[in-house]
Amino acid sequence: MTATQIQSPRSGKPGAGLIAPKYRRTGGSRGNFEMAAWLFMRLSGVVLVVLIFGHLFVNLLVGEGIHAIDFGFVAGKWADPFWQFWDLAMLWLAMLHGTNGVRTIINDYAEKDSTRLWLKTVLYAATTVIIILGTLVIFTFNPCPLDANGVPLPGGFCPAP
Amino acid sequence: MPTKPAGTLYRGREGMWSWVGHRITGVVIFFFLLVHVLDTSLVRVSPEAYTAVIGAYKNPLMALGETGLVAAIVFHAFNGLRIIAVDFWKKGAKYQRQMLWTVLILWVIVMVGFSIRHLSLAFGGH
């Protein structure tokens, strides 16, 4: 007598219950986007803990804390490429992490298709504007801005003439 | 579309409430982030515009708001690490409850330290 072979479910072997194409979780037109987004939240989350705790420590706890923050403080930090890239990484990762989080919340609570579409359109537009604006500000920052007549604006961080 | 669910899937206790807290703190942090990029962008307008708007953050009342924001960030950060442990650590799901209490204890310790430092700077009359 031959014993009945019981296969692991979904192992692809005969009798294991092959999944019809329309029920498979991979290979659809959406690809693995949701899985990539899930993984991104965890990877970016770990990096953001380091970046944001460092940001808060250096800006709020060291020295005079918040009292030290003014134009000159920002100029001093962004004179160093280390802080430029720290802030750039923080901007991109935090915006993408936050946008994906809000996208999830919209998908969860907005029941009408058109409502979800509009909320997500506004969300993606805001994200694009903020990321581009922030990136330009970090890399086009001028510690010694001049007015229309070429005179340094008050409060700037200009080299001694 | 049902207007009222027949039963509820919400299960309460540590698992659900940490999820609720994670969502709320996440949304709060996201909206602050949008404002924070805009206020920092004023460095491209003029030194005086930036320093004037940043001056608003130095108001003692705002210091309470900043402390609330940092409380949200620290909870979201520690609970986020707990979520990663639940997902990737073999025993994560088993110990999720103990990990939440660890998160809350660490959160209290960090926030006591931060509040003393930040509020004494803000109210200390510089």
- pLDDT, one tens digit per residue, over B95-109 is 999 999 999 999 999
- pLDDT, one tens digit per residue, over B22-41 is 999 999 999 999 999 999 99
What is the C-alpha separation between A158 and A112, in angstroms, rounded?
Answer: 55
* Distance in Å, alpha carbon of A67 to nearest chain B alpha carbon: 7
For residue A18, pLDDT over 70 is answered with: no
- Could you tell me which chain B residue has the CA closest to the CA of A75? B43
Hey, is A150 helix, strand or coil?
coil
* Distance in Å, alpha carbon of B41 to nearest chain A alpha carbon: 6
How many C-beta atoms lie closer than 10 Å to residue A126's C-beta? 15
Mean pLDDT value across chain A: 86
Question: A82 is written with which tokens?
Answer: 């280390």
Question: A60 is written with which tokens?
Answer: 């709020």
For residue B5, pLDDT over 90 is answered with: no
Q: What confidence tier does A20 reach under pLDDT thresholds 50, 70, 90?
A: low
Surface of B (59-88) touching A: CB under 8 A: 63, 66, 70, 73, 77, 80-81, 83-84, 87-88
Q: Is B33 on the interface with A (CB under 8 A)?
A: yes
Amino acid at B66: E
For residue B68, pLDDT over 80 is answered with: yes
Query: In which region does residue A3 sit, left (phi positive, over 0), alpha (psi from -120 to 50) or beta (all else)?
Result: beta
B23 → closest Cβ in A67, A98, A105: A105
How many Å separate Cα B54 from the centre of its chain? 21
Cα A86 to Cα A89, A94, B66, B70, B86, distances in angstroms = 5, 12, 21, 19, 29
Question: B53 is written with which tokens?
Answer: 């708007």
For residue A108, pLDDT over 80 is answered with: yes
User: Can you give the pLDDT at residue A24?
Assistant: 67
Mean pLDDT value across chain B: 89
Query: In which region does residue A65 sit, left (phi positive, over 0), alpha (psi from -120 to 50) or beta (all else)?
Result: left
* Distance in Å, alpha carbon of B39 to nearest chain A alpha carbon: 10
Interface test with B, best of A71, A103, A119 (most B CBs within 10 A): A71
What is the C-alpha separation between A93 and A45, in angstroms, rounded?
Answer: 8
Q: How many angstroms separate the first and last alpha carbons of chain A?
A: 100
Q: Is A95 on the interface with B (CB under 8 A)?
A: yes
User: Can you give the pLDDT at residue A28?
Assistant: 57
User: Can you give the pLDDT at residue A67?
Assistant: 85
More confident residue, A1 or A20: A20
User: Can you give the pLDDT at residue A21?
Assistant: 64
More confident residue, A121 or A9: A121
For residue A132, pLDDT over 90 is answered with: yes
Residue listed under structure tokens 């953001």: A48
Amino acid at B95: Y
